[in-house]
């Protein structure tokens, strides 16, 4: 009888494994691989399908969405692989913004033509003109942010630039009755005060919000861009981007740039938060739509378990680099930045933070650390000098960190 029990158990196991095998066939190939990788302690011996790093990349840099940090990642990647960057012509630091982008806004476009690898400075998206500058196989991506914190951030940063912000006391007062401060005649100066992301993508930020129109725009953005990241999940965005572009984890390491001190953040009332959804309803729809597709994309390409593991690796590596590079292990206020060459551009009522580097770094480490913390304008200016040595340098009024 004991032998009978063992036989029955054995048969049961065979049947069960058969059932699991049949069940496996219902899954897509990717799910099987992911499940297998999750259950295996040892890495697979077979090498994964090799992918090649994408080096023709266009990043639409939107406003107040962690895009300065993204620009730094792009510039460092361009330098690492000796790639050409489509930089603003002459003394400009943006590609014609807020005008619709034109190919001649790029330095030397007439002679270099379509041979740029990277484009990532501020521009207002105009696909036909961008396509003149970037190769046909270019990867297009951008980044969005929840319009609620975005509007508060814009309010502080563009307080002196947007008439609607200038004439209101604070962000909550502005939101009680935006049309009291936001006048149609000033719409060009007021772009930051309403649906700024919609505007950056090339659309009318004062357009009427009707379903047919918004659906058509969302569809068009999906056709023009391969990927839309979400600033509110920046680390997760970096992992998704790493997998999509086939870049290394080290390419995605960053120090947060162009952020402001906590004491300049204004607390929004619950009513204000709801009012932003209505006042910036085009941005709100844009964000909701691509926030959904972002998480769907993560599940399809990375999987949540791998995502969590790689986000941890990214943060660990970032912490190591901060300990290596930084004097205070964190960003400091504008008054505490010792090297003026590392002083970020200050705007509105914001106190834009920067970094102090350790003094005793060897030359190679110092150069790595400098590139992690150098603000956007200084980095643009430096790359311009490298790429266009015979042109007049961009006038910044600041020395460059590694030439001073």
Q: What is the pLDDT of residue 33?
A: 28
Domain extent listing, the chain: 57-387
Q: Calculate mean pLDDT across residues 37-41.
A: 32
> What is the tens place of the pLDDT at every residue in 308-330?
999 999 999 999 999 999 999 88
Q: Is the pLDDT confidence value at 45 over 50?
A: no
The residue written with tokens 């042109």 in the block is 391
Mean pLDDT of 97-108: 97
Nearest-angstrom CA–CA distance, 333 and 353: 5
Q: In this predicted structure, what is the pLDDT of residue 353? A: 87
Contact 72, 374 (CB under 8 A): yes
pLDDT of 401 = 66
What is the average pLDDT across 204-228? 97
Q: Which of 103-117, 212-226, 254-268, 310-324 has the lowest mean pLDDT?
A: 254-268
Dihedral sign computed on CA atoms, order 334, 340, 342, 343: positive
Q: For the packed helices 363-373 and 304-325, what is the interaxial angle rounded to 10 degrees?
A: 120
Structure tokens given for 336: 């505490």
365: exposed, middle or buried (Cβ count in 10 Å: 0-12, 13-18, 19+)? middle
Mean pLDDT of the chain: 87
User: What stretch of H or E contains 296?
Assistant: helix 281-301
Whether 240 shows a pLDDT value over 80: the answer reads yes
What's the pLDDT tens digit per position in 325-364? 999 988 898 888 898 888 888 877 778 888 999 999 999 9
pLDDT computed for residue 402 by the predictor: 60
Tokens standing for 244?
A: 């999509």
SS3 224: helix
Peptide bond just before 129 cis, omega within 30 deg: no
More confident residue, 105 or 346: 105
Top CATH class of 57-387 equals: alpha beta
Q: What is the pLDDT of residues 116-166, one digit of tens each?
A: 999 999 999 999 999 999 999 999 999 999 999 999 999 999 999 999 999
Closest CA to 375 of 347, 331, 343, 404: 343
> Residue 256: what pLDDT?
93
**194 against 19, higher pLDDT:** 194
- Longest CA–CA span in the chain (Å) reads 95
Pairing of strands 139-144, 118-119: unpaired
For residue 32, what pLDDT band results from cuts at 50, 70 and 90?
A: very low
pLDDT of residue 345: 83
């Amino acid at each position: 009888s004991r032998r009978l029990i063992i036989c029955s158990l054995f048969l049961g196991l065979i049947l069960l494994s058969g059932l699991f095998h049949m069940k496996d066939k219902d899954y897509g190939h990717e799910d099987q691989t992911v499940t297998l990788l999750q259950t295996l302690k040892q890495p697979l011996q077979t090498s994964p399908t090799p992918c090649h790093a994408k080096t023709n990349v266009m990043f639409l840099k939107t406003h107040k969405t962690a895009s300065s940090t993204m620009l730094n990642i792009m510039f460092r990647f361009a330098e690492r692989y000796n790639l050409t960057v489509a930089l603003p012509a002459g003394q400009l630091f943006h590609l014609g913004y807020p005008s619709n982008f034109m190919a001649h806004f790029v330095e030397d476009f007439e002679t270099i033509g379509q041979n740029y690898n990277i484009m990532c400075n501020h521009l207002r998206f105009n696909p036909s003109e961008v396509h003149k500058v970037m190769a046909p196989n270019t990867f297009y991506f951008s980044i969005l942010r929840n319009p609620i914190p975005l509007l508060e951030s814009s309010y502080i940063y563009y307080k002196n630039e947007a008439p609607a912000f200038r004439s209101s006391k604070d962000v909550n007062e502005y939101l009680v009755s935006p049309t009291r401060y936001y006048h149609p005649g000033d719409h060009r100066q007021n772009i930051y005060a309403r649906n700024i992301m919609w505007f950056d993508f090339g659309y009318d930020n004062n357009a009427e919000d009707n379903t047919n129109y918004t659906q058509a725009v969302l569809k068009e953005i999906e056709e023009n861009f391969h990927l839309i990241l979400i600033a509110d999940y920046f680390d997760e965005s970096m992992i998704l981007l790493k997998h999509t572009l086939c870049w290394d984890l080290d390419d995605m390491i960053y120090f947060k740039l162009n952020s402001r001190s906590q004491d300049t953040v204004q607390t929004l009332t619950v009513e204000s938060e709801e009012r932003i959804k209505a006042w910036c309803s085009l941005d709100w729809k844009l964000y909701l739509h691509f926030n959904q597709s972002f998480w769907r994309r993560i599940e399809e390409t990375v999987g949540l378990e791998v995502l969590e593991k790689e986000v941890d690796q990214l943060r660990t590596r970032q912490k190591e680099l901060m300990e290596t590079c930084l004097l205070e292990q964190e960003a400091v206020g504008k008054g505490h930045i010792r090297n003026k060459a590392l002083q970020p551009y200050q705007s509105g009522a914001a106190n834009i933070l920067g970094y102090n580097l350790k003094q005793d770094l060897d030359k190679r480490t110092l150069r790595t650390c400098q590139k992690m913390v150098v603000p956007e304008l200084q980095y643009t200016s430096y790359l311009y000098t490298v790429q266009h040595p015979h042109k007049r340098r961009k006038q910044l009024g600041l020395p460059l960190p590694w030439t001073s």
